[in-house]
């Protein structure tokens, strides 16, 4: 597996989980770009979704991870950036198939909806799973066409 560059961001609700994930990523030799927040002080998830998504879209990093209370807000916000395929995953199965079939480039997590230990498993699977291509490529091309028409 190549040394992936990962941008990571969270709001206040995801800050503690973000710290755990950064430690995990460093321990597993990933290059990490922390896009904030840097405290549990209330802030807006949209600001951090934007920072990470733009880095991913510009290919400054290979993938991104975003964390808020549920992962929903981060998923909605980051998917507004052209070229982003953000997936909110609450199980290892979802993480695996978001990569295999959808080639997701941002993983969204909920710190308040999934236990830390399970989130770590989700991240591991997501990072280690490659896109299988093939029959999924025409579907992803249709998604890109939607972006061209509407974003």
Given the residues 12, 26, 43, 68, the one annotated as active site = 68
Q: What is the pTM of this model?
A: 0.96
**Does the pLDDT at position 151 exceed 80?**
no
Provide the mean pLDDT of the chain: 96
Alpha carbon distances (Å) from 82 to 23, 56, 68, 145, 149? 30, 10, 21, 11, 11
Where does the pLDDT of residue 3 fall: very low under 50, low under 70, confident under 90, or very high at 90 and above?
A: confident
Q: Mark whether 101 is an active-site residue.
A: yes
Catalytic residue among 26, 101, 108, 136: 101
CB 72 within 8 Å of CB 109: no
Structure confidence by residue, pLDDT tens digits, 73-122: 999 999 999 999 999 999 999 999 999 999 999 999 999 999 999 999 99
Q: Sign of torsion, CA 106 9 72 89?
A: positive
Residue 33 φ then ψ, to 5°: -120, 105
Helices (H), the chain: 15-27, 45-57, 72-78, 92-100, 116-128, 137-150
Q: Catalytic: 89?
A: no
């Amino acid at each position: 597996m190549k040394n992936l560059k990962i941008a990571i961001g969270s709001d206040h609700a995801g800050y503690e989980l973000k710290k755990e994930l950064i430690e995990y990523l460093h321990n597993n030799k990933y290059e990490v770009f922390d896009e904030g927040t840097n405290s549990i002080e209330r802030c807006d998830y949209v600001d951090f979704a934007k920072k990470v998504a733009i880095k991913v879209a510009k290919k400054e990093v290979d993938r991104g991870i975003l964390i808020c209370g549920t992962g929903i807000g981060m998923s909605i916000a980051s998917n507004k950036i052209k070229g982003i395929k953000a997936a909110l995953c609450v199980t290892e199965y979802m993480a695996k198939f978001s990569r295999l079939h959808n080639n997701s480039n941002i993983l969204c997590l909920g710190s308040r909806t999934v236990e830390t230990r399970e989130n770590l498993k989700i991240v591991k699977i997501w990072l280690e799973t490659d896109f299988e291509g093939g029959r999924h490529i025409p579907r992803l091309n249709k998604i890109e066409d939607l972006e061209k028409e509407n974003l």
